[in-house]
Structure 1
């Protein structure tokens, strides 16, 4: 295999016309230049220079290698520029995964800011409800995923960065006997018919774990796996529901919302990234924007 550094030395000799001039240009001694050219000739298996008066000139093989060295040098320079652009966030792409209720409050404003700061970065944005995006992050198929912290950590090499705590509120029909109270104990809802608002996964785990800590298991009269539909069922008087603050959207007539305690169900929203992946400037900027938007939403 030909040594690229020695090829660059050969090109310097060819373009300057002498070993001495090449040595002065590169900061080597003439002896060192001659040794490197001789080593390159052994690698190539053919003479690359020949005497021409007081100087040297390239053989046909020497001219060939010199021309290819120029091409290689240009490619290396272009690669270095492209790498610097990628490293500094001027180019590249980011794959972002998110779930529905964080879209308007966290993801949209954070991506708008990223687009202003890094307009050359392409964004692959995908909704992941109800799939678990952590395997994608683990494999490197996604750069960042907004997730609710899972009950257990099964994915090695994935780092979870806390963004915000999103408390659940009790949604009651407006005429419900408990609607006049400002704060409810979770156990107050033990005997109520429940409207499910969460699909199986970390969010539902938060609700069920809180109910278990309050000493009961909710009796579901209906399961919608959708906040808007669940609130519609509540407004119709079919039961009560727990809805996270970020999932409320526009207030619905016929529904009152009350804080919960003992315990207060809270889902912990995190940004999931691969360990060591945050050296990408655009990814750092996105994580910073997500963190600041989370602070505004808290």
Structure 2
């Protein structure tokens, strides 16, 4: 197999006109250059240079390899430049997975910051719901996923977890509900109420709600099951029941509901960024996390 570095030495000799001149230009001894050329000729199986007076001139095979050395040198320079761009975060792909309420509040301004500061990055954004976004990172399909804790299983090896914020749940009542007069509710006060459920599929969010009610001594009686928080607010406003909804899920609250803090217990979901370990130090990922924290600080 031909060695690219020796081909570059051959090109230097041909363009310099002699082994001595090439050695001086490259910072080698003439004997070292001669050894490189001898090895290259053995690899090629053909003579590459012939002596002419005190200099050398290339054979047709030498000219051929010299031309290819130039092309390979150009491509190598491009590859090294592209690799530098990638390592410094100016190019590449950043795959982000998220759930709906994070997508509405946290992800858009953070993605805008990445696009502004790293315009060469190709963004791959995908809403993953009702499924869990975590497997997207664990399987290597994504670099970052916005996920909810606590969860039943720890992240797989090769996934780093960074805490972003705690998102408390709020009691959501019809405006005409008698408990709407109170500023803070004990969760047990909602034990006998009909409930509007949102997170009807098994998962972290449903576990948080059901476990909080269990800690307050009851099992919620779900009379309506919905798939999103805005629809749940509509059912609550219509008097179908009460609900617990995390603050991020409230968005612009429905005009027909009242939102109150709850205690004993005060449930919350902890939102984290799950990051593939190999992506943790990418500049675009650092920008993404910093922008999310800025968004949270502004909205706090």
**TM-score, normalising length: structure 1:** 0.95
**SS of equivalent residue, structure 2 residue 120:** coil
What secondary structure sits across from 1:252 in the alignment?
coil
What RMSD in Å do the two structures reach over aligned CA positions? 1.5
Separation in 1, partners of 2:58, 2:265: 83
Map 1:23-62 to 2 at 5 A: 23-62=23-62
1:294 Cα deviation (Å)? 2.7
Contact 1:168 1:245 in 2 (8 A): yes
Whether the 8 Å contact between 1:105 and 1:297 is mirrored in structure 2 is no
Are 2:68 and 1:68 aligned? yes
1:154 offset after TM fit, Å?
Answer: 4.9
Asked if the contact 1:88/1:282 (under 8 Å) is kept, the reply is: no
CA distance in 1, matches of 2:20, 2:118: 48
* 1:225 counterpart = 2:227: yes
Distance 2:3 2:217 in 1: 73
> Gapped runs of 5+ residues in structure 2?
none
4+ runs deviating over 6 angstroms = none
Q: Higher mean Cα deviation, 136-145 or 242-251?
A: 136-145
Secondary structure of 1:90's aligned partner: coil
> Which whole-Å CA distance do the structure 2 matches of 1:40 and 1:124 have between them?
46
Structure 2 CA distance, aligned partners of 1:5 and 1:116? 40
| Distance (Å, rounded) in 1 between the aligned partners of 2:71 and 2:285 | 33
Q: CA deviation at 1:226?
A: 1.3
- Structure 1 portions without partners, runs of 5+: none
Structure 1 counterpart SS, 2:119: coil
| Residue matched to 2:192 | 191
Separation in 2, partners of 1:127, 1:53: 73
The answer to whether structure 1 residue 158 and structure 2 residue 185 are counterparts is no
Q: Is residue 245 from structure 1 mapped to residue 247 from structure 2 by the alignment? A: yes
The 1:296–1:199 alpha-carbon spacing in structure 2 relative to 1, beyond 3 Å, is: farther
Aligned pair count reads 298
Alpha-carbon distance in 1 for matches of 2:226, 2:143: 31
What CA distance in whole angstroms lies between the structure 2 residues aligned with 1:253 and 1:264? 24
- 1:275 & 1:295 partners in 2: Cα distance? 26
Q: Conserved in 2, the CA contact under 8 Å of 1:185 and 1:261?
A: yes
Q: Is the 8 A contact 2:233 2:254 kept in 1?
A: yes
Preserved CA contact (<8 Å) 1:168 1:243: yes
Which range is displaced more, 279-288 or 227-236? 279-288
Distance 1:279 1:250 in 2: 36
Residue 267 of structure 1 corresponds to which residue in structure 2? 269
Q: Distance in 2 between matches of 1:165 and 1:159?
A: 18
Shift of 1:225: 2.2
Cα shift at 1:270: 1.1
